[in-house]
A and B are shown apart, each in its own frame.
Chain A
Amino acid sequence: MGQMGKDAALNQGVKNRKRREKHYWEDWIGRIYTSICVVVLLVVIVSIVFFVSSKGLATFLENGVRLREFFTGTRWSPDESFGALPFITGSFAVTLLAALIAGPLSLCAALFMTEILPGRGKRILQPAVELLSGIPSVVYGFIGLTVIVPFIRDYIGGQGFGILAGCLVLSVMILPTITSIMADALASLRGGLRESSLALGATRWQTIYRVVIPTVLPALLTGIVLGMARAFGEALAVQMVIGNAPHIPSSLTESAATLTSTITLSMGNTAMGSVHNNALWSMALVLLAMTFVFVILVRLLERRNRI
């Protein structure tokens, strides 16, 4: 090996090391950059939970409002009494009723897409469902205000505002969420089950309600739970049609209020740090806690689904 060869080898070595270094650099840049993005996610969620909790708990820790009063009291007056039960009741009422209306409807839509007209049904309904989910909540609220509320006032009774109007608007809003999850669940049914049932001489309907639905039930319920989570947290559309009266209504057509509608209306007109304002933050904390409840429910259902 002559001097030339040595030089060449040395050069080659230097080049190799350089290339390797470039690799190291590139890889570190990528790893660090993507990790930072994930860390941002973690920081955001921790700070949301921390800040909302600290404000929400101040009502009970600093202002001395009793937990029992907050969760079971029915009187809400901004200077002395902070019973949030009417709002909690309102939120749960509109959510459950909306799920009752939207659940069966969504199931029909999903069955239509996967069992009755596979392929063509999907081409008709899929775009419709996607467009429905694209309509913003304020527009839903506006339609509720100009169509549903007058309709209820004229044909059913009362002022038109109330739980009924709220749950009707919400049920249309959560339809797309539930339908798309249910359709995915039905489409993912293991091959052979449907065909075996039909081969045994079952009609299509018998196959649907004795084989298909029981098999994918947890996933169907997941859709309903996620829809409820959306309904529970929806603020503006509900606020426009519910009437915003802080008491427990005696009928579905009587003005009521939810957690979200009360926060929407009062947060802007109360001073930061006042008891009234802190009580609103406590309601936000209830919303936050309910979000976690819904997520846990979904996780439990998914676990059932795997078995």
Chain B
Amino acid sequence: MIKRAKRADRIATVVICFFAMLIVALLVGLLGYILVRGLGHINWHFLTSTPQMIRGGGGIGPQLFNSVFLLILTLIITVPLGWGGGIYMAEYARGGRLTHLIRLVVEVLSSFPSIVIGLFGLLVLVNTLGLGFSLLAGSMALAVFNLPLMVRTTEQAFRAVPKEQKEAGYALGLSKWKIITSILLPVALPSLITGTILASGRIFGEAAALMFTAGMSSPPLDFTDWNPLSARSPINPLRPAETLAVHIWKVNSEGLAPDAKEIAAGASAVLVILILGFNLAARWLGRAAYRKFTAAKRMD
């Protein structure tokens, strides 16, 4: 009886360890595959030249620019709204019915499929508001996609601030808002920044919400023209903008170029490298901030 139990214990341990290691192997395999397949295709020409739909040798220059620019636009919209919402939830919400409702709303919003957000953008932003397929519509859709996450991380960051900090502020006779902006915000800032960077990684790889809002094409861009009102300017918010992630999908689904697979592999590698960069940056910043505020040697 005891022998059997011990044998079962050993078997279970081996099985659990095996599957856990399998996941690590899976990750290493995935990353290795993407990088090995894609890195060979990445060079300066590929990163800067325009894509070709029919002939080979196309690059991903405009798409790369669009991805980064869209990310910046989205953060401009999301950060004030998301941080504000998070501050409300942490400092002003009174735990009544309304708070429960808002919590439910945040939960539902964060579990909406991104394609539904994209369709909503198509219907409301692109058609009803008449923005057309544009950077503006795309960044608004991404903001919807990103808001719940921002609100949640902000709330957690503010709740993690020690109570004494707030009490000290009240003792000095400061107003609530002054305490939030001058005392709590600086302390919560490291985790806010970490959360924002991680969210950026998510935005960067998002495609389904963008296909129908930022569009699936990119007009010929003139990088010497920085007037946001002209049609060929890269920073014109009303021009369509295909991002890197959307481009990968398009090349795979309807790519006619002979080197479509290589382009997709190269673009995937670029995307993954950038997201790895985001992840490492967030981790490093989080650690540095953690050390600074707690004088701890290591973070587990």
Complex Cα spacing A129 to B202, Å: 15
Binary CB contact string for chain B from 98 to 136 against chain A (1 if under 8 A, 0 otherwise): 000010111111011111110110111001000000000
* Beta-carbon nearest neighbor of A125 in chain B: B20
In the assembled complex, 13 residue pairs joining A and B whose CB atoms fall closer than 8 Å, in A order, are A26-B177, A30-B177, A34-B87, A34-B92, A41-B85, A44-B144, A48-B144, A51-B120, A143-B34, A172-B30, A203-B6, A236-B207, A260-B208
A174 to B194, CA, bound (A): 23
| Residues on A with beta carbons closer than 8 Å to the beta carbon of B276 | 131, 134
The segment out of A6-14, A63-71, A284-292 that lies at the interface is A284-292
A-B CB contacts (within 8 Å), total count: 255
- CB neighbours (8 Å) of A143 from chain B are 30, 33-34
A31, A130, A139 — which one has the most chain B CB atoms within 10 A of its CB? A139
- Beyond A30-B181, A115-B16, A204-B13, 11 extra complex contacts between A and B, CB < 8 Å: A34-B85, A34-B92, A36-B84, A45-B108, A52-B123, A111-B16, A129-B23, A139-B272, A142-B265, A203-B5, A287-B115
Q: How close is A235's CB to chain B, nearest CB, in angstroms?
A: 4
Q: Tally A residues with Cβ within 8 Å of B.
A: 90
Instruction: Tell me the smallest distance from the CB of A181 to a CB of chain B, in Å.
Output: 13
A-B interface, 5 closest residue pairs, ranked by CB to CB distance from nearest? A233-B113, A136-B205, A30-B177, A37-B84, A112-B20
**Given A34-B87, A37-B88, A147-B33: A236 and B249 within 8 A (CB)?**
yes
Q: Which residue of B lies closest to A54 (CB)?
A: B123
Residues of chain A lying within 8 A (CB to CB) of residue B105: 41-42, 45
Task: Kindly provide the distance from the CB of B192 to the nearest chain A CB, expressed in whole angstroms.
Answer: 14
Q: Does A137 contact B (CB under 8 A)?
A: yes
Residues of A within 8 A of B180 (CB): 30
Q: A262 to chain B: closest CB distance in Å?
A: 11
With both chains docked as a complex, state the minimum distance between the C-beta of B134 and any C-beta of chain A, in angstroms: 16
The reply to whether B5 and A27 contact each other, CB–CB distance below 8 Å, is: no
Binding stretch for chain B, among A156-164, A248-256, A264-272: A264-272
Tell me the bound Cα distance from A105 to B123 in angstroms: 39
In this complex, which of B83, B84, B102 has the most chain A Cβ atoms within 10 angstroms of its Cβ?
Answer: B84
| B47 interface residue (CB < 8 Å to A) | no
Inter-subunit contact B20/A142 (CB<8 Å): no
Q: Indicate whether A124 sits within 8 Å of B24 (C-beta atoms), given known contacts A108-B15, A141-B249, A263-B119.
A: yes
Interface hits, B123-166 → A, CB 8 Å: 123-124, 127, 144, 147-148, 151
Q: Which of B275-300 contact A (CB under 8 A)?
A: 275-276, 278-279, 300
B115 pairs with A264, CB closer than 8 A: yes
Interface contact B248-A142, CB-CB below 8 Å: yes
Q: Which residues of A contact B211 (CB under 8 A)?
A: 264, 268
The answer to whether residues A295 and B176 also contact, given A105-B22, A134-B201, A263-B119 and a CB cut-off of 8 A, is: no
| A-side contacts of B33, CB under 8 Å | 143, 147
Kindly list chain A residues whose C-beta atoms are within 8 Å of the C-beta of B268: 138-139, 142
Tell me if A295 and B92 are in contact (CB < 8 A): no
A177-B34 Cα distance, complex, nearest whole Å: 22
